A and B are shown apart, each in its own frame.
Chain A
Amino acid sequence: MSVMSGKDLPRDGEGLQGAALHGRLERTWGDAPGFWGWLTTTDHKKIGRRYMVTAFVFMALAGVLALAMRVQLSGPEKALMTPDRYNQLFTMHGTTMMFLFAVPVMEAMAIYLVPLMIGTRNISFPRLNAFSYWMYLAGGTLLWIAFLLNIGPDAGWFSYTPLSGPQFSPGKRVDIWAQMITFTEVAALAVAVEIVATILKQRAPGMTLSRMPLFVWTMLVVALMVIFSMPAVALCSGLLISDRLIGTHFYNAYEHGDPLLWQHLFWFFGHPEVYIIFLPGAGFVSHIVETFTRRPVFAYPAMVLSLVTVGLLAFGVWVHHMFATGLPRTGYAFYTAATMAVSIPAGIQIFCWIATIWDGRPRFKVPFLYVFAFIITFVIGGLSGVMQASVPIDLQVHDTYFIVAHFHYVLIGGAVFPLLGAITYWFPKVTGRMMDEGLGKVAFWMIFLGFQLAFFPMHFLGMWGMPRRVYTYPTGMGWDEMNMLASIGAFVVAAAFLLFIVNAANSARRGAVAGPNPWDAAGLEWSTSSPPPHYNFAHIPVVTSRTPLWDNRNHLPVMTGLRVDERELLLTSVMDAIPDVREPSALPTIWPLWAALSTTAMFISSIFTPWAVVIGTFPIAAALIAWFWPKTPPTPEPVVE
C-alpha cells in the first residue's frame, strides 16, 4: 500500500481558496443527486430543515384538533362530536404538541444552527442524526395513522394509570401512545447525544465556553436535560406496555404495584420537559435581542448561570404535579419552595433582556416584536405558575381550565413566540431570502392578540370551576361567554398561523435576496453565505470574542489545513477550544434509514406480541452492522511532520 505523505494531500490554505476551494469542498461534502441523495444525506442542514417542516406539519394537525375542540366548547351542550372522539382529540392534541412538535422543533433548530454557530462543518454522528429523523417521522406517522383508524389514544397526554392500564383501557389505543413515546424518545435522545458532543468538541478555535453563543449554551443545558429526563418516560411507558402485554404488575394495585409509580416516573420526565421546551426559546430571545438592540446581551455570566440553574431546578419540582395525590407535609413544603425558586433564575433572565433593550438601540423588526410578546405572555404564565406552587391554590384549581390557561401561557408564550421570532430571524440564513415584513407584522399582532383572547378567559373559567377534559358543559353555569371568546381567539390564532406560513412559503421563492448577514448580527452563522454551502465554512473560523462579526468587520480570522478530499472536522479541547484532532465525518449512506425501518417494524409488532422484540432484533442488528462496517478501503491518514 503506497502511503502519501501528509504534504501531498489537498488541503485548504492560501494556495487553495475562493472558487477552486469551493469546487473541491462541494464535491467532498455534497450529496448524491436526486431522490437517492435525499434518502442518504447526512448534512445537518438538510436534516434540520426536514425536522422543522415535519414538526410544523404535526403542529398544524394538532392545531386543527384544537379548533375542533374549541367549536365543540364554544357553547353549552353542543354535539359536534361524541365524548369518545373528544377524548381522542385532546389526547392527540397534547401528545402531538409535546412529543411531535415542541421538543422536535427545538432540536431541529439546534441541528440546523448549532454547527453553524460554533463554526464546524457538520454535526457529530451525522448518521445517527439521519436515523433520529426517520425514527421521529415513523413514530409520528404511527400515531396519526392510528388516529385516522379510530385507534387514537384517549387517556390524555400523560396517560395516567390505572386509566391507561389493561383493565380500564382495553384495545390498542394506549399501546399506540406508549410506543409512539418509544420512537420519539429514541429520536430525541440521539439528537441530545449529538448536540452535547458537537458543542463540547467541535467549537471553532478560540470559542472558549465563556465565548459560546447563548443559544448554544441553552442547547447544551437542554441536551443534558434530555439525557437525564427522557429515560424516565421511556422506562415508565416501557413498564406500561409490559403491564398491558405480558401481565406484569408495576401499576396494578391489586398485585402490590402502584399507579402513583407512573406519576413519579412520568413527571420526573414531564417537568424537565417543560423547560426543555422553554429554554431554547430563551436562547432565541437572547440572539434576537442582541441583534436588534445592537449591543451584546447584558450580564452574560448571569444569563449562563440562570440557564444552568433552571436546568438543575427542573429535576427538583416534579412532585408539584402530584399535590392532589396527598403528600407528607415536608413534601408539600419542599416542592412548593423548589417551584417558587425557579422564578429567581427565570426572573434574572427577564431582567437581563430588559436591561439589554434599555441600554441598546432597538430596531422594531418582526423578530424583535416577538420578544415583547414573549416577555409579556411568559411573565403572566410564570406568575400563575408561582400561584400554583402554593398547595391550597393548586388543590383549588387542579384539573381546571386555570391549568390549561397557565401552561398555554408558558408554552406558547415561552417557546412558540420566540420560535416564530427565531424563524423570521434565521429565515434568510436558511433560504437566502427575507420574510415579508408587512405580512409578518400583521401575523404577529393577530397571533399575539388572538392568543390573549383565546387563553386569558380560561383563567376565569378555571376559577369558576370548569374542569379540563370535559367534552361539554350544561347551560346556566356562567361559562358560555368566556368559552365563546376563547373559541373566537383560537380561530384568530389559526388564521394568523396560516398567514405566517403563507408568508414563509411566498418569501422562500420571491422574498428579497438576503446576503450573508442581513441583520448585521454578530454570530459566526452570519459569516457564511445564505443559504450556507454543504461544507458550511470554506476555512475553519477563529474566534476571539463573544461577538466575532462585530469585532472583525473587514475579514474573518481563519485556520487552514483540513483535507478537502475527505470529509474532515476539527476537534478542539472542551474548555478552551484549542485545536486538537482532525477527525473524519461520516459519508452519506442508506443504512440509517434501513435501521430506522427495521426498528419501526420491531416497535410496531411488539404492540401485538412480545416475540417481536426477540425476532425483530435481528434485522435491526444487521442494519446497524452494515451502517458501522467501513465501506471504503482503508485510507492512510498521514500527518504532516
Chain B
Amino acid sequence: MSALPPQFQGDLAHLPSHAFGHRSLTWWGVVAFFLIEGTAFALAIGAYFFLQGLEDSWPPQPYKPANLLAGTLFTITILLSEIPNTIVKRAAERRDLIAVRKWMLILLPILALLLVLRAFEFNSLNVHWYDNAYGSILWALLFLHLTHILTDIADTVVLTALIHTRHAAENRRIVDVAENAMYWRFVWLTWLPIYALIYWVPRWVS
C-alpha cells in the first residue's frame, strides 16, 4: 500500500488497450532486436573486409567467385515478397482480418521457396567453410542470414495459425502481425549488403 495518501489527478480508463508502431511496447522490443542483430551483421561485414585486406586477391587463387544464379533469384524473390508483406501490414493496421488471413497464406509458400533457394546458394559458393578464411566468412554471412529467414518463417507460421483461431479476436494479435511484417523488412534489407559481399565484391575487387 502506498505510504503517502493519494491525490487523484486524472483517469486513464479512456485510453486504448492496444496501439500500432512506436506506441506499442512490442515495437520497441522488435526495434531493439534489430539493433542487436544489425550490429552483429555490421561486425561480421567488418570481419569480411578485415580478412579481405589480408589477401592478395579476393577470392584467393585458385577459387572462383560464387555462381550468381541461386543468389540472384533469391534476391529477386525476397524483394518481391515485400509486396504481399506490405499488403499484410496495411491490412493488419486497418484490422482487416480477412485480408490478413488471405495474404499471410500467400506469403508462406514464398518463404518456403526462399528456403529452397538458400539451400542452392550454399551449393554455389565454389568454396567450403574449411578451405580458407574466405570460405569461412562467406559461409558465416550466409548462415547468419539463414537464421533470420528461419526465425521469420517460424514466426509467420505461428501467427498464421493464430489468426485462424478465436484468439484473432484480440486486437493485440493483429499488432503482432504488423510487427512481424516489420521484422521481415529488416530481414530483406540486411540481405542486400550481404548479397553484394558474397556475390559481387569478389568480382569487383579480384
Binding site for B on A (CB under 8 A): 1, 6, 11, 13-14, 17-19, 22, 124-125, 128, 189, 192-193, 196-197, 200-202, 205, 227-228, 230-232, 234-235, 239, 242-243, 246-250, 252, 255-258, 261, 264-265, 268, 515-517, 526-529, 533, 537-540, 542, 549, 552, 554-562, 568-571, 574, 579-584, 617, 621, 624-625, 628-630, 633-637, 639-641
A197–B158 contact, CB under 8 A? Answer: no
B133–A581 contact, CB under 8 A? Answer: no
For the complex, what is the distance from the CA of A574 to the CA of B19, rounded to whole Å? 14
Contacts of A526 in B (CB 8 A): 3
Kindly list the 3 A-B residue pairs having the minimum CB-CB distance in the complex, ordered from nearest: A516-B3, A561-B13, A248-B136
For the complex, what is the distance from the CA of A538 to the CA of B107, rounded to whole Å? 46
Contact partner of A556 among B5, B19, B60, B139, CB < 8 A?
Answer: B5
> Chain A nearest CB: distance from B124 CB in Å?
19
For the complex, what is the distance from the CA of A52 to the CA of B167, rounded to whole Å? 37
A581–B23 contact, CB under 8 A? Answer: yes
For the complex, what is the distance from the CA of A641 to the CA of B36, rounded to whole Å? 40
| 6 A-B residue pairings within 8 Å (CB atoms) | A234-B40, A242-B129, A539-B6, A556-B4, A581-B24, A582-B15
Asked, given contacts A537-B2, A634-B167, A637-B18, whether A246 binds B130 with beta carbons under 8 Å apart, the answer is: yes
Contacts of A538 in B (CB 8 A): 1-2, 6
A227–B32 contact, CB under 8 A? Answer: yes
For the complex, what is the distance from the CA of A571 to the CA of B3, rounded to whole Å? 24
A633–B130 contact, CB under 8 A? Answer: no
For the complex, what is the distance from the CA of A569 to the CA of B17, rounded to whole Å? 10
For the complex, what is the distance from the CA of A234 to the CA of B40, rounded to whole Å? 8
> Chain B nearest CB: distance from A106 CB in Å?
18
In the complex, B50 has a CB within 8 A of chain A: yes
Q: Is the interface of A mostly helix, strand, loop or mixed?
A: mixed
A555–B162 contact, CB under 8 A? Answer: no
Contact partner of A6 among B2, B13, B60, B140, CB < 8 A?
Answer: B13
Contact partner of A634 among B2, B131, B169, CB < 8 A?
Answer: B169
Contacts of A628 in B (CB 8 A): 158
Contacts of A515 in B (CB 8 A): 3
> Chain A nearest CB: distance from B23 CB in Å?
6
Contact partner of A559 among B1, B12, B28, B44, CB < 8 A?
Answer: B12
A197–B28 contact, CB under 8 A? Answer: yes
> Chain B nearest CB: distance from A140 CB in Å?
22
| 4 new A-B contacts at CB < 8 Å, known A539-B8, A635-B170 | A227-B32, A249-B135, A549-B4, A634-B169
A249–B136 contact, CB under 8 A? Answer: yes
> Chain A nearest CB: distance from B183 CB in Å?
14
> Chain A nearest CB: distance from B66 CB in Å?
17
B6–A235 contact, CB under 8 A? Answer: no
Asked, given contacts A11-B13, A124-B28, A256-B55, whether A250 binds B8 with beta carbons under 8 Å apart, the answer is: no
A231–B39 contact, CB under 8 A? Answer: yes
Contacts of A17 in B (CB 8 A): 6
Contacts of A246 in B (CB 8 A): 129-130
Q: What is the size, in residues, of chain B's interface with A at 8 Å between Cβ atoms?
A: 64
For the complex, what is the distance from the CA of A247 to the CA of B154, rounded to whole Å? 29
B12–A540 contact, CB under 8 A? Answer: yes
B166–A633 contact, CB under 8 A? Answer: yes
B51–A639 contact, CB under 8 A? Answer: no
A560–B24 contact, CB under 8 A? Answer: no
For the complex, what is the distance from the CA of A127 to the CA of B16, rounded to whole Å? 23
Contacts of A579 in B (CB 8 A): 10, 12, 15
Contacts of A582 in B (CB 8 A): 12, 15-17
Report the nearest B residue to A635, measured CB to CB. B170
Asked, given contacts A248-B136, A571-B23, A625-B158, whether A227 binds B36 with beta carbons under 8 Å apart, the answer is: yes
Contact partner of A637 among B7, B150, B171, CB < 8 A?
Answer: B171
> Chain B nearest CB: distance from A470 CB in Å?
32
Asked, given contacts A189-B36, A559-B11, whether A265 binds B47 with beta carbons under 8 Å apart, the answer is: yes
In the complex, B137 has a CB within 8 A of chain A: yes
Contacts of B168 in A (CB 8 A): 634
B133–A517 contact, CB under 8 A? Answer: no
> Chain A nearest CB: distance from B188 CB in Å?
20
In the complex, B54 has a CB within 8 A of chain A: yes
Contacts of B22 in A (CB 8 A): 574
Contacts of A258 in B (CB 8 A): 50-51, 54, 133
B43–A265 contact, CB under 8 A? Answer: yes
Report the nearest A residue to B173, measured CB to CB. A630
A581–B36 contact, CB under 8 A? Answer: no
A640–B5 contact, CB under 8 A? Answer: no
B43–A580 contact, CB under 8 A? Answer: no
Q: Which of B6, B17, B50, B167 has the most chain A CB within a 10 Å cutoff?
A: B6
For the complex, what is the distance from the CA of A507 to the CA of B77, rounded to whole Å? 65
For the complex, what is the distance from the CA of A634 to the CA of B169, rounded to whole Å? 7
Asked, given contacts A232-B43, A559-B11, whether A583 binds B24 with beta carbons under 8 Å apart, the answer is: yes
> Chain B nearest CB: distance from A552 CB in Å?
7
Asked, given contacts A201-B25, A571-B25, A581-B24, whether A554 binds B4 with beta carbons under 8 Å apart, the answer is: yes
Asked, given contacts A239-B140, A527-B4, whether A255 binds B132 with beta carbons under 8 Å apart, the answer is: yes
Contacts of B132 in A (CB 8 A): 249, 255-256
Contacts of B37 in A (CB 8 A): 231
Report the nearest B residue to A257, measured CB to CB. B133
B29–A261 contact, CB under 8 A? Answer: no
For the complex, what is the distance from the CA of A197 to the CA of B6, rounded to whole Å? 27
For the complex, what is the distance from the CA of A538 to the CA of B4, rounded to whole Å? 11
A231–B40 contact, CB under 8 A? Answer: yes
1/0 per residue, CB under 8 A from A, across B101-132: the answer is: 00000000000000000000000000001111
> Chain B nearest CB: distance from A195 CB in Å?
9
> Chain B nearest CB: distance from A417 CB in Å?
30
B8–A249 contact, CB under 8 A? Answer: no
> Chain A nearest CB: distance from B136 CB in Å?
4
For the complex, what is the distance from the CA of A472 to the CA of B139, rounded to whole Å? 44
In the complex, B191 has a CB within 8 A of chain A: no
For the complex, what is the distance from the CA of A1 to the CA of B136, rounded to whole Å? 57
For the complex, what is the distance from the CA of A628 to the CA of B35, rounded to whole Å? 22
For the complex, what is the distance from the CA of A231 to the CA of B44, rounded to whole Å? 10
Contact partner of A228 among B12, B39, B131, CB < 8 A?
Answer: B39
